[in-house]
Structure 1
Amino acid sequence: MSTYVVVGAGPVGVETARLLGEEGHDVVLTSRGVGSIDLKHVRTVQADATDAAALARISQGAEAIFMCAMAPYHRWPTDFFPIMDGVVRAAEIVGAKLLVLGNVYGYGANATVPLRFDQPLDPTSRKGTVRTIMWQRALRADVPALEIRSSDYLGYGAVTYFSLLALPSLLDSKPVAFLGDLDANHAWTFTKDVARTLVAASSYSGEWGRAFHVPSQHVSPRELMQRTAAMLGKELPDISIYSHAQMEAFGMHELVEMSYLFESPLLVDSSDSEAILGVEAQSLDAMIADTLRDQS
């Protein structure tokens, strides 16, 4: 069995640690605020990933480091780079492989769909640029690196456009205000499938320095809301669309530059991941049920 370090104790990081521990590996789950956790073969260590030397001490003997940390959404351009640099440097110090949790922002608004893992990155947003630079930093590392790219999350504890804009209103049977084209097919990624893809990719025997897409389910925002309301035993409420002007007026500045993701179909080709890594997307109902877990 191997030793692994998972940086970031959000939904994906915790699930990644759980899966690795269930396989019998020794796992260190670390973040600045991580507490104790009852997972087999998993121990938690509080640490700041920007401190490469401290992270390297934690990572001694690790086969791989999983970079699953997140920065506050509005602070990506300032907070993400020091985290990424610390993780990369720690991996170089201990000679560990590097698996980076990324997303599809780097392809930009002009990308052809379905998105393929080998398409050039051409970001058209600040956040897409940040993600692209982070991956370039990993590629320059002196250790092998892979990036696992996801679309918008569904799952327990996930903080996404759906969970922030639609879910609270669906739970309260109130009108929903969302963004984009309600009937454009969109890729939804289950947090547990992200973790499964990360773990599977850690054993990839081909040439590293590439990306894998997390297998996702494709349905329109309207259909996702319909399915969620039905699982809640509620009628689908009225749905309206925020204009860019409304987003700005309401202080939703972070949504404006990323709204392109919902204004046309966002399809993600994960056939390579399915064929090579053996990971398939779980059902949409499973994703919704986990998203609703513990919701009153």
Structure 2
Amino acid sequence: MKVRPVTHHVILGKGQIGSTVAESLARRGDTVRVLSRSGGTDTDSITHHKVDARDRDALLAACRGADVIYNCANPGGYHQWEAEWPPMAEALLAAAEANDAGLVMTGNLYVYAETDRHMTERSALAATTRKGRLRVEMWEEAVARHRAGRLRVTEARASDFFGPGTTQNAMLGERVMRPLLAGGNVQLLGDVDAPHSFTYIPDVANALIRLADDDRSWGRAWHIPTAPAVSQRDMVDGICEIAGRSPARITRMPWWLIINVAGLFQPHLRGLAETRHQWDSPYVMESTEFTETFGDVPTPFDEALGETVEWWRRRIAEQR
């Protein structure tokens, strides 16, 4: 195994993934530069820069001197992907090439076909949705440049996020965690009893850093260590048990209401129509290749759910 010493990190995005990666790198003594549209407050180990990643020249300047660049950003909503991802992706590739930096991309499972079989890194990139095809095109362009010797790239693919810091656009976000911890009931999407893979935020951050550090990662995609699939009902029941409350009543939110009605006021919700299959059917990923290669294992489900509940309790208490 050849391990490349990495000390200068540039992270695009300061959401739950980017922030967790930055904090982990800072704790081990590396220098970290975080790029985002709004900037942020510097610390001793982390500097924040206000950058629009669609601006190629601005991103090139902000990434100068990087050993590795992490793409932990996403456009603001599904409805913005087709307009914003292409210039962002091109600017990131240019920045990696210009600095001879490794590029670690945070990916998802949209690249695969709609299926109820277990998804692995060997599954065909046969997405039929617009968002899925866009992610396929981004990856294929990046890996083509890798094969041509122009840059080093890898992609870490995860299923739906949960964990500390996940507040919006997630199954265990505001619309579920807050009412559950207040003793209320919840509405969920799709088949609440279908097995579904959920990837824990700290495991995502650890995987990104592992891939950046190890030369065995380059030139291919990896599935982030993810615990065995559970249902949405299992998630809700687990939260109730940890919180010491009675089981919550779960009702199913109709798709027509989300897409046709709520989507009028929140445009990003209209994009959920393309991902409906992920919630109406089993949606299961395997991550054994990562574990067998690098040795990392997913955080046990009960531990991850407990830490998520504790984070939400602190958040709610601080907001009172």
- Scaled by the length of structure 2, the TM-score of the pair is 0.85
Larger deviation: 81-90 or 46-55?
Answer: 46-55
1:31 corresponds in structure 2 to 36
CA distance in 1, matches of 2:156, 2:54: 21
What is the CA-CA distance between 1:238 and the residue it aligns to? Answer: 1.5
Structure 2: where are the runs of 5+ without partners?
A: 1-5, 263-268
Alignment correspondent of 1:108: 113
For this pair of structures, how many residues does the alignment match?
294
| Structure 2: distance between partners of 1:244 and 1:45 | 39
Q: 1: distance between equivalents of 2:80 and 2:245?
A: 36
The aligned residue for residue 49 of structure 1 is 53
Q: Percent identity?
A: 28
The counterpart of 1:246, out of the listed 250, 253, 257, is 257
AA at the equivalent of 2:251: S
Instruction: Name the aligned partner's letter for residue 117 of structure 1.
Output: E
Residue 15 of structure 1 aligns to a residue whose secondary structure is helix
Q: 1:132, CA displacement in angstroms?
A: 1.5
Distance 2:286 2:75 in 1: 27
Specify which of 138, 157, 160 is matched with residue 142 of structure 2: 138
Give the whole-Å Cα distance in 1 for the aligned partners of 2:259 and 2:14: 32
Residue in 2 that maps onto 1:151: 159
Deviation at 1:207, TM superposition (A): 6.4
Q: What is the distance in 2 between the residues matched to 1:257 and 1:59?
A: 34
Q: Specify which structure has the higher proportion of helix.
A: 2
Q: 2:11 aligns with which of 6, 19, 29?
A: 6
Contact kept? 2:56, 2:87, Cα under 8 Å: no
Deviations along 1:213-266, one digit per CA (max 9) or x if unpaired, are 111122110010001122222222221113332333432422222121122222
Q: Return the alpha-carbon distance in structure 1 between the equivalents of residues 271 and 68 of structure 2.
A: 33
Q: 1:224 to 1:176 in 2, by over 3 A?
A: same
Pairing 1:203-214 to 2, within 5 Å after superposition: 203-206=213-216, 208-214=218-224
| Residue correspondence of structure 1 range 41-190 to structure 2 within 5 A | 41-73=45-77, 74-110=79-115, 113-141=117-145, 142-158=150-166, 159=168, 160-190=170-200
1:193 is matched with which residue? 203
What amino acid sits opposite 2:90 in the alignment? D
TM-score by length of 1: 0.92
Root-mean-square deviation over aligned CA pairs: 1.9
**For the Cα contact (< 8 Å) 1:77–1:127, is it kept in 2?**
yes
The Cα shift of 1:60 comes to 2.4
What residue identity is the alignment partner of 2:48?
Answer: T
